[in-house]
Amino acid sequence: MKLDASRHEVASLTWDRVKERLQAGAAAILPIGAGSKQHGLHMPMATDQLFAEYFARALAEKIDALIWPTLTYGAYPAFVAYAGSVTLSNRTFAAVVTEIADALLGFGASRLVILDTGLSTIAPVAAAVGAARDPSRIRHVKLFAGPRFENVAAEIGQQPYGTHADEIETSLMLVIAPELADMARAQPMPFSPTGPGRGPLSPDDPSAPNYAPSGSFGDPTLATRDKGLKVLTAILEDMVEAAR
């Protein structure tokens, strides 16, 4: 599904057009998706950013909304052992989100929808919303933690466990941007019969509880486009319901 962002993205509009749209009652969308976080050997570092921007455009087509530039740095502590993967502290990240939220609502947005592609970002974004001047006008939409998404992921998933650059995320990429998924390089993590442990992933320590030499936490080789279509539909339905 190709989406036209030109009518919705403030980056392509002049400030007076943004003002007009806000005065007419437009909502604001703030996508959050890492632009510099490893996603295995088969998907780019900006995978989360790509997902965030895709779903922001899809939501903007459903509601009268303007999309602000994606917040591409966040709290991603599990991936710092992989070259190029950048994280902020929870406190710093939450403060940034709060200040952006206050600014967008201060400009007159009827409400703010935060589209959150992360898992480790959920708690600091929730804290950021709580610290905002008007949290009642903010919707925190957790794209990979909605009820339909979780049901579909459990139904179609064949991997023992996984949440990152895995069967589910890779299936979604095969729908949204298949040219960016190099399936010849996809590698599953070495699964443990005791399941994953607490703590970050490790690319080079076989004794670590979450040893993941490729960076994938799960098995991306099980991904298919058909699975991705089901995941996409579930996320879209969860997102629209939560935003409204």
Give yes or no for residue 13 having a pLDDT over 90. Answer: yes
Residue 4 counted as domain residue: no
- Domain-embedded: residue 177: yes
Contact between residue 168 and residue 218 where contact means Cβ atoms under 8 Å apart: yes
State pLDDT tens for residues 147-198: 999 999 999 999 999 999 999 999 999 999 999 999 999 999 999 888 888 8
Q: Where are the beta strands (DSSP E) in 134-236?
A: 138-142
d(Cα 206, Cα 189) in Å, to the nearest integer?
Answer: 11
Q: Is residue 165 part of a domain?
A: yes
Q: Which of 199, 127, 212, 202 is nearest to 162 (CA)?
A: 212
Mean pLDDT (whole number) for 91-100: 98
3 belongs to a structural domain: no
Residue 82 belongs to domain with CATH number: 3.40.50.10310
| Residue 116 maps to a domain | yes
Beta strand 112-116 with 65-67: parallel, antiparallel or unpaired? unpaired
Asked if the structure places residue 26 within a domain, the reply is: yes
CB 200, CB 80: distance < 8 Å: yes
- Whether pLDDT at 94 is above 60: yes
pLDDT reported for residue 6: 65
Average pLDDT estimate for 207-223: 96
- Within its chain, how far is the Cα of 104 from the centroid? 20
Instruction: Examine residue 186 and state whether it is found in any structural domain, yes or no.
Output: yes
Is the residue at 2 inside a domain?
A: no
For 20-79, the pLDDT digits (tens) are: 999 999 999 999 999 999 999 999 999 999 999 999 999 999 998 999 999 999 999 999
H-run or E-run covering 155: helix 147-156
Full domain range(s) for residue 187: 10-243
pLDDT category, 7, cuts 50, 70, 90? confident
The count of structural domains within the chain is: 1
